[in-house]
Structure formats: structure tokens, C-alpha cells
């Protein structure tokens, strides 16, 4: 055990900003058991303190000195919440608005500097070179882990308090628990403050009931990540590592489809693990996925994919911009703004911007054509599902590529015939079997997502699923982790 701990610590120290993966020996056999034991053995009133302390340790392990940045943001937003909810400012709308604007500006500035300053400086340098003005300084800042997520948590908190939809949190321990809660700190789900405020105040909990419900959900996510997503990762990496012109059509399609499966099983697996962990420590986190590849349109896809992010943009950006009010042109403008922001939220690269515009443009086109509503005929529904999945796959090529040139080459190989097979490609029988089974799973007719199903149902099918996840899938995934096959979650980089 100690050997695994030292090995993972060495790996983390070699990669700046490497968080503690849920699918690592350190987390599974040290951090999680110790945290759960502390939550269960100590009186319920200490739950928030235990979760806050464990979460700060969890973050400091991967972020190191960048923990100071997180703590400074916590201090500013905690103080702003108290000010916005104070008697002194209650009848002074201009002062309250000034506090809100200053706090939002602070939060956005943190995100802009640490995530986008490097990208902006590279564009300025490129433009300066084109104009013959010589080189300009390039900003190189390491990206603090989870910065996009904890920034959105802070923003939702101060806006909720400003709107009066929830009172400010007086307890600093509870506020730290909300912001730093380790299940969702690094890669979500994005938890809006009003969704969890009552849970922070209520420390009554069924310790073993939370374990009985939460562990199968955690095991489901661990299996998705380790058994499926990590098995497909070498195939994806090999396809997207090909130099321009070397891809065959078969290789391009296999790589694109493998990444489509990898990112879903990786990210939805993380969300399942986060929700399961939250249950085990006494919190209910929002659902983040609902069979997104069953969507009949891009509009429907975004109701099912990363649902907490979609809801956040809807409530804090889209509706304040006017939403669907003001006529079709304004609605289309708002949709494009949202998806430009969504693209850049994922990363400061042109590929993410184009990916966001691509999805925003598809949403506008669907509204113009009336395709945002479900078709009635079964054959039409099947056709729309297939078309939507194809459009999503094309988008994932943009999302995964390191540059627009790489994306263009991949798409050209997919849609113009390039003969050749999969020779010298990263495929073997186990990976291809995993690929085929995963493709069958996501192609099945739309139904309830497995995660909520195994929690809510009490029939024999749900019992069998929970038992299989607990006693078969979880041990097998743990064996793979012990063999050293774990890797960071894809959304850790965002």
C-alpha cells in the first residue's frame, strides 16, 4: 500500500496541478476510507467540518500553493454574501449592486487571468509577428485544478444571495464545505448554492443507508472509468496522434467513435462517483447525465449532457440576456453567446471556440427548421437519433484535436475515402470488444439512466444491478487500478 502511495505522489509531483484521482490506489484505499470513517464515527454535527477539512487536504494534495488562490476566492465571496444579506445594505440597492458587480468581477478576473491570459498573449504575439512588430511576451501560467468549477460555484452563490432566493451562509465551515466538497470540487457536477443550502444545515443522516445507496453508484462510475474509458484511451490517443495525411478512413472513424465513447464513460463515470461519494458523506448532488447519446436533436442533447453546466448557463447567463424573449433574432444571438462562452469555459483554444460555435449554430438551425421538437413516427425518431449522434461525433473531433489543422485532417479522413486498415494501430481484442459493447450500450433505445435507476428502484432487477456493481464490477475495477491502469479524468483539465 505504501508503495502505491509513494508512486502516485511521485507522479503527482512531476505533473503540476495533478489532482488525486478517484480511480487511484491513494484515493480508494487511503483517502476515501479514512474520510468515511471520520464522518461515520464522529457526531453528526461534525460532518461539515470533516468534509471541509478532507476537501482542503484533497485539493492541496494536487494544487499545492494554488490552494491560496482558492482560499482567497472563498474569503472574498463569503464576505460578499454577508454584505449582500446584511441589514445595512438591505435598503440600498445601488450599494448591493456595487458589491455584486465587484465580486463577480473578482471571480471572473481570477478565471480570466489564470485560464485565458496565456491564450490572449499568444494571439497578441502572433498578430504582432504578422504586422512585423516583433515578438511580445508570452504569459505561461499553470492552470489551477478545478478553477472553472469553483468559480461557477462562487458566482452562483453571490447571485443567489443578491436575488434573495437564499440567505447568505453565516457559518464559514459550511460555506467552505459547499465550495470545496471533494466529490464535486475538481470536475463537478456544478452545484448551485440554493440546491444544497438546506443540506448544509441539516446534519441528520442515515450513515449506513447512505453507504448502501451511495457505494453502488460510486462502483458504477468506477467501472465506467476504469473498465471502459481507460480501455479506449490508447485507441483514441493513437488516432489523434497521427500526422497530417497519414490517417485512413477506418482509423479516423474508429478514433472519433472511440473518443465519443471515452469522454462519455469517463465524464459520466466521474459524475456517478461524485454523486455516490456525496451520498456516503450525507449530501445529494444533482444529476449530470441522462443518456445523452439517445438525444433526438442537439437541443435534446444539451438537456442530457453535462446538465448542471447547461442549467447554470441557462439561469445565470441565458435568462438574464433575455432568453427567448424579444423575438427570434435575439434568441439566436443569446444561444450563440451562450455556446461561445461554453466553448471557452472548456479551454482557451480555438478548437473549443469553434466547437462552441458549432453547437450554437446547430441549435439555431434546429429552431429555424423546427427540429428541436421530437418527431412522432418511430422511423423518424430513429433517423433523428442517428443524425444527432453523427453531428455530436463531428463536434467531438473538434473538441479533442490539439489544433484546427489536426481537426480538419481528421474530418477529411472521415468524409473522403482514404484506403487502408488498422495496421500498427493501438487495437487488440480486449479493446475492440470493449468498444463494441460500449457502442451497443449507448445505441440502445432511450430509457432511464442506470445511475438513478439503481437508487430509486426496489425490485429484483435493481437489486441484481446493485449487487453486481458492488461485488463484481467494483472489485474488478479495483484490480485494474492496482495493476496501474488508472489515469486522470478527462475533465480534470477543464
Residues annotated catalytic, as ranges: 346
Note whether 396 and 267 are within 8 A (CB): no
Q: Which residues contact 414 (CB under 8 A, 6 or more apart)?
A: 249, 252, 253, 256, 397
3-state secondary structure of 478: helix
3-state secondary structure of 246: coil
**CB count in 10 Å sphere of residue 352:** 20
Q: Which residues contact 12 (CB under 8 A, 6 or more apart)?
A: 18, 20, 61, 62
Q: What nine digits make up the cell of 56?
A: 482542503
3-state secondary structure of 38: helix
Q: What nine digits make up the cell of 400?
A: 479533442
**CB count in 10 Å sphere of residue 75:** 13
Instruction: With CA atoms as reference, report the closest residue to 239 among 261, 264, 257, 265.
Output: 257
**CB count in 10 Å sphere of residue 270:** 29
DSSP state of 45: G
Apex 98 CA angle, 92 and 100, nearest 5: 105
Q: Which residues contact 300 (CB under 8 A, 6 or more apart)?
A: 372, 374, 388
What does the alpha-carbon distance between residue 466 and residue 315 come to, in Å, rounded to a whole number?
35
What does the alpha-carbon distance between residue 343 and residue 358 come to, in Å, rounded to a whole number?
9
Q: Which residues contact 429 (CB under 8 A, 6 or more apart)?
A: none
Residue found under cell 465587484:
102
What does the alpha-carbon distance between residue 407 and residue 378 come to, in Å, rounded to a whole number?
34
Q: Which long-range contacts (CB under 8 A, 24 or more apart) does 201-209 make?
A: 201/174, 203/44, 203/45, 203/47, 203/48, 203/282, 204/44, 205/44, 205/47, 205/282, 207/39, 207/40
What does the alpha-carbon distance between residue 48 and residue 171 come to, in Å, rounded to a whole number?
10
Q: What nine digits make up the cell of 241?
A: 496522434
Amino acid at each position: 500500500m505504501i508503495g502505491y502511495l509513494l508512486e502516485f505522489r511521485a507522479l503527482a509531483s512531476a505533473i503540476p496541478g495533478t489532482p488525486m484521482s478517484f480511480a487511484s490506489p491513494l484515493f480508494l484505499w487511503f483517502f476515501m476510507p479514512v474520510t468515511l470513517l471520520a464522518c461515520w464515527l464522529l457526531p453528526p454535527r461534525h460532518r461539515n467540518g470533516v468534509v471541509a477539512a478532507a476537501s482542503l487536504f484533497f485539493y492541496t494534495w494536487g494544487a499545492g500553493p494554488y490552494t491560496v488562490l482558492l482560499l482567497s476566492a472563498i474569503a472574498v465571496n463569503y464576505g460578499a454574501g454577508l454584505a449582500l444579506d446584511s441589514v445595512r445594505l438591505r435598503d440600498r440597492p445601488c450599494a448591493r449592486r456595487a458589491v455584486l458587480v465587484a465580486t463577480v468581477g473578482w471571480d471572473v478576473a481570477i478565471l480570466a487571468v489564470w485560464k485565458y491570459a496565456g491564450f490572449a498573449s499568444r494571439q497578441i504575439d502572433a498578430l504582432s509577428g504578422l504586422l512585423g512588430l516583433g515578438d511580445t511576451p508570452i504569459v505561461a501560467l499553470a492552470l489551477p485544478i478545478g478553477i472553472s468549477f469553483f468559480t461557477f460555484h462562487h458566482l452562483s452563490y453571490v447571485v443567489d444571495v443578491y436575488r434573495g432566493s437564499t440567505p447568505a451562509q453565516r457559518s464559514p465551515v459550511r460555506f467552505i464545505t459547499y465550495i470545496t466538497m471533494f466529490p464535486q470540487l475538481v470536475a463537478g457536477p456544478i452545484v448551485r448554492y440554493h440546491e444544497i443550502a438546506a443540506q448544509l444545515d441539516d446534519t441528520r443522516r442515515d450513515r449506513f443507508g447512505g453507504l448502501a445507496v451511495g457505494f453502488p453508484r460510486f462502483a458504477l462510475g468506477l467501472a465506467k472509468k476504469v473498465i471502459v474509458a481507460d480501455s479506449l484511451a490508447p485507441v483514441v490517443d493513437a488516432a489523434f496522434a497521427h500526422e497530417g495525411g497519414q490517417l485512413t478512413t477506418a482509423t479516423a472513424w474508429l478514433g472519433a467513435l472511440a473518443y465519443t465513447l471515452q469522454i462519455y464513460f469517463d465524464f459520466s463515470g466521474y459524475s456517478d462517483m461524485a454523486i455516490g461519494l456525496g451520498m456516503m458523506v450525507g449530501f445529494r448532488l444533482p444529476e449530470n447525465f441522462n443518456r445523452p447519446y439517445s438525444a433526438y436533436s442537439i437541443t435534446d442533447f444539451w438537456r442530457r449532457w453535462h446538465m448542471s453546466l447547461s442549467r447554470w448557463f441557462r439561469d445565470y447567463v441565458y435568462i438574464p440576456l433575455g432568453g427567448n424573449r424579444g423575438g427570434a433574432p435575439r434568441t439566436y444571438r443569446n444561444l450563440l453567446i451562450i455556446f461561445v462562452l461554453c466553448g471557452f469555459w472548456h479551454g482557451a483554444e480555438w478548437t473549443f471556440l469553434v466547437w462552441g460555435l458549432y453547437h450554437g449554430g446547430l441549435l439555431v438551425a434546429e429552431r429555424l427548421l423546427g427540429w428541436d421538437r421530437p418527431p412522432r413516427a418511430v422511423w423518424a425518431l430513429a433517423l433523428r437519433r442517428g443524425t444527432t449522434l453523427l453531428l455530436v461525433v463531428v463536434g467531438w473531433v473538434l473538441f479533442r484535436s490539439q489544433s484546427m489543422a489536426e481537426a480538419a485532417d481528421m474530418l477529411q479522413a472521415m468524409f473522403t475515402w482514404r484506403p487502408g486498415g488498422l495496421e500498427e494501430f493501438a487495437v487488440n481484442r480486449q479493446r475492440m470488444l470493449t468498444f463494441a459493447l460500449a457502442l451497443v450500450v449507448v445505441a440502445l433505445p432511450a430509457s432511464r439512466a442506470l445511475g438513478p435507476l439503481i437508487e430509486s428502484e426496489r425490485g429484483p432487477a435493481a437489486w441484481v444491478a446493485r449487487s453486481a456493481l458492488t461485488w463484481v464490477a467494483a472489485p474488478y475495477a479495483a484490480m485494474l487500478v492496482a495493476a496501474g491502469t488508472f489515469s486522470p479524468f478527462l475533465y480534470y483539465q477543464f
